[in-house]
């Protein structure tokens, strides 16, 4: 197993550079070409997330919750802790930078998923595989991307989420990790065999509750230590550019912050567009706005809350071996509020990561349907997903995180290249939305109004 770990680490050492370079350059390009859409239209995002749906369709808010179910998970508690231990407090600053830039990328990819979505079996489907085929005419590349997403999210990321749950439960209650993994696998099986509507309903109920509970506790901790807030910001920003990080590596903090930030908010990875495509909206820009807000919510709000809790103590500097990931978050919060924090974090991470497993599965299912329709393939995929949950519950934390980093780099780079090639259509769609808003209209999209747009058949009759 050590040999496998070394091989994965070597690959990760190469792909991480391509990942960071791609995220920053593409994100900045989209930010400038869209006239800073993530800042200029930030208030509009809150209006878009509350848009009503037709009966029987997935609403903008439910699509937001499906994506949040995948986003909000291990990265917010375990990933942030790993970022701090590996890259120092300055890694959090780079998480913020990647998130702000990534809001533009997340906007564009989700909007494109809406433009090129299609209806299958009474439900909307879409995502990068679909817009790669329809806009670029390269089905083979769409199949490659679909396979990457199905493996990355259904298998690799879900094994990581299961790993985080079992570690947290072992730390809090001393529960056997294999037993917990089997219970999780059975529960996941019950839900994923119920289909997308059961996923959206489940996520729409659980995600808001768990997010509010976790943020509420952390907000209480931060407010109780309000006098330390200026110090926390100074520590994070100073560590990102300070002399200490210059010697051990500002770039190391940037790499770790970018990787953990991407795993957290998924902006540009090509996963969230699969959820964005399911929503019933009158204009693709609306779902782009909703998912851009999701990036902000996940990283700037939830990840920052976890980082503040960890940095309010010195445990991250003195913790011994084994106090890493979610265990560090548990230990830090416990020192601030008492021993009850350990089981609280375990329960919170259970819901965060469990809904992430459900959301990740849906991304895999959507892309499996793109590659090949068929009940048999779907059932086999579901069984494999359940099996990987059990595997992840026992695997070493370093192995599952390294695998996640490698696979997400591949999916992200392929998706970012596609976005760049289709960016002309993206900016035309944004202009169409803005033009209608300026006329006081509730924007309604018609494919014929976008020069050069083809294969957007879902919108032909709008």
Task: State pLDDT tens for residues 173-196.
Answer: 888 999 999 999 988 888 887 655
Contact 77, 341 (CB under 8 A): no
Contact 364, 378 (CB under 8 A): no
Instruction: Give the pLDDT confidence score for residue 246 in this predicted structure.
Output: 44
Average pLDDT for residues 313-331, to the nearest whole number? 73
Query: Would you give the distance in Å from CA 365 to the centre of its chain?
Result: 17
> Could you give the CA distance from residue 220 to residue 359 in angstroms, rounded to a whole number?
29
Instruction: Give the pLDDT confidence score for residue 274 in this predicted structure.
Output: 85
HEC states along 211-260? HHHHHHHHHHHHHHCHHHHHHHHHHHHHHHHCHHHHHHCHHHHHHHHHHH
Contact 415, 109 (CB under 8 A): yes
For residue range 334-375, list pLDDT tens digits in order: 888 888 888 887 887 787 788 788 878 888 888 888 887 777
For residue range 443-458, list pLDDT tens digits in order: 999 988 888 888 888 8
Q: Is the pLDDT of residue 78 over 70?
A: yes
Q: Is the pLDDT of residue 74 over 70?
A: no
Q: How confident is the model at residue 47 (pLDDT cuts 50, 70, 90)?
A: confident
Q: Is the pLDDT of residue 243 over 80?
A: no
Contact 62, 204 (CB under 8 A): yes
Average pLDDT for residues 4-23, to the nearest whole number? 78
Contact 350, 163 (CB under 8 A): no
CA triple 352-402-395, angle to 5 deg:
65
Query: Tokens 């709000």 label which residue?
Result: 301
For residue range 254-273, list pLDDT tens digits in order: 677 777 777 667 778 888 89
Q: Lowest-pLDDT range, 18-27, 153-162, 277-286, 398-407?
A: 398-407
Query: Which are the contacts of 40, defined by CB distance < 8 A and separation ≥ 6?
Result: none
Query: Tokens 């769609």 label which residue?
Result: 429
Q: What percent of the chain has pLDDT over 90?
A: 23
Instruction: Give the pLDDT confidence score for residue 347 in this predicted structure.
Output: 81
Q: Is the pLDDT of residue 248 over 50?
A: no
Average pLDDT for residues 392-416, to the nearest whole number? 84
Q: Is the pLDDT of residue 314 over 70?
A: yes
Q: Which of 133, 128, 4 is nearest to 414 (CA)?
A: 128
Average per-residue pLDDT in the chain?
Answer: 82
Indicate the pTM of the whole model.
0.83
For residue range 128-172, list pLDDT tens digits in order: 999 999 999 999 999 999 999 999 988 988 988 888 888 888 888
Q: Is the dihedral of CA 323, 327, 329, 330 positive or negative?
A: negative
Q: How confident is the model at residue 278 (pLDDT cuts 50, 70, 90)?
A: confident
Q: How confident is the model at residue 70 (pLDDT cuts 50, 70, 90)?
A: low
Q: Which two tokens stand for residue 448?
A: 């014929």
Q: How confident is the model at residue 73 (pLDDT cuts 50, 70, 90)?
A: low
Q: Is the pLDDT of residue 434 over 90?
A: yes
H or E, element range at 441: none
> Could you give the CA distance from residue 132 to residue 447 in angstroms, rounded to a whole number?
17
Contact 418, 131 (CB under 8 A): yes
> Could you give the CA distance from residue 319 to residue 24 in angstroms, rounded to a whole number?
33
Instruction: Give the pLDDT confidence score for residue 32 in this predicted structure.
Output: 93
Q: Which residues pair with 124 in a beta bridge?
A: 119
Neighbours of 166 (CB within 10 A): 27
Q: Which of 113, 67, 53, 196 is nearest to 459 (CA)?
A: 113
Q: How confident is the model at residue 53 (pLDDT cuts 50, 70, 90)?
A: low
> Could you give the CA distance from residue 222 to residue 265 in angstroms, rounded to a whole number?
22
Q: Is the pLDDT of residue 65 over 80?
A: no
Q: Is the pLDDT of residue 247 over 60?
A: no
Average pLDDT for residues 394-412, to the nearest whole number? 82
Q: Which residues pair with 125 in a beta bridge?
A: 118
Q: Lowest-pLDDT range, 12-21, 53-62, 113-122, 218-227?
A: 53-62
More confident position, 230 or 20: 230
> Could you give the CA distance from residue 460 to residue 462 in angstroms, rounded to a whole number?
6
H or E, element range at 125: strand 123-125
Q: How confident is the model at residue 207 (pLDDT cuts 50, 70, 90)?
A: low
Q: Lowest-pLDDT range, 32-41, 106-115, 220-229, 413-422?
A: 220-229
> Could you give the CA distance from residue 66 to residue 359 in angstroms, rounded to a whole number?
6
């Amino acid at each position: 197993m050590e040999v496998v770990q070394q091989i994965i680490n070597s690959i990760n050492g190469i792909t991480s550079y391509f990942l960071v370079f791609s995220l920053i350059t593409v994100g900045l390009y989209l930010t400038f070409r869209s006239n800073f859409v993530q800042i200029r239209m930030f208030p509009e995002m809150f209006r878009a997330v509350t848009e009503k749906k037709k009966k029987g369709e997935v609403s903008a808010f439910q699509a937001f919750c499906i994506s949040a179910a995948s986003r909000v998970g291990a990265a917010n508690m375990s990933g942030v802790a790993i970022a701090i231990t590996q890259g120092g407090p300055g890694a959090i600053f780079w998480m913020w930078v990647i998130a702000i830039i990534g809001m533009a990328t997340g906007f564009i990819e989700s909007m494109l998923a809406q433009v090129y979505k299609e209806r299958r079996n009474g439900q909307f489907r879409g995502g990068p595989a679909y817009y790669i085929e329809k806009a670029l005419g390269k089905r083979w590349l769409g199949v490659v991307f679909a396979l990457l997403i199905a493996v990355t999210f259904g298998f690799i990321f879900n094994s990581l989420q299961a790993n985080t749950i079992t570690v947290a439960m072992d730390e809090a209650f001393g529960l056997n990790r294999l037993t917990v993994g089997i219970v999780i696998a059975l529960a996941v099986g019950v839900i994923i065999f119920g289909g997308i509507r059961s996923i959206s309903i489940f996520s729409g109920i659980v995600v808001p509750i768990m997010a509010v509970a976790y943020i509420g506790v952390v907000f209480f901790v931060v407010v109780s230590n309000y006098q330390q807030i200026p110090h926390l910001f100074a520590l994070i920003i100073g560590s990102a550019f300070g002399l200490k990080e210059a010697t051990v590596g500002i770039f190391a903090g940037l790499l770790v912050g970018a990787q953990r930030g991407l795993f957290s908010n998924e902006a540009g990875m090509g996963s969230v567009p699969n959820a964005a495509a399911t929503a019933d909206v009158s204009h693709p820009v609306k779902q782009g706005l909703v998912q851009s807000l999701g990036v902000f919510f996940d990283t700037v709000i939830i990840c920052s809350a976890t980082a503040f809790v960890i940095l309010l103590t010195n445990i991250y500097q003195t913790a011994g071996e084994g106090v890493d990931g979610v265990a560090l978050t548990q230990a830090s919060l416990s020192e601030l509020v008492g021993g009850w924090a350990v089981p609280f974090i375990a329960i919170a991470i259970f819901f965060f990561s469990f809904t992430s497993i459900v959301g990740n599965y849906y991304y895999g299912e959507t892309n499996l349907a793109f590659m090949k329709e068929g009940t048999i393939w779907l059932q086999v995929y579901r069984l494999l997903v359940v099996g990987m949950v059990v595997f992840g519950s026992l695997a070493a934390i370093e192995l599952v995180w390294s695998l996640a980093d490698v696979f997400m780099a591949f999916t992200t780079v392929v998706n970012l290249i596609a976005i760049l090639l289709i960016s002309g259509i993206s900016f035309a769609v944004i202009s169409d939305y803005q033009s209608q808003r300026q006329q006081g209209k509730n924007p309604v999209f018609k494919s014929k109004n976008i020069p050069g747009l083809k294969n957007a058949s879902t919108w032909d009759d709008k």
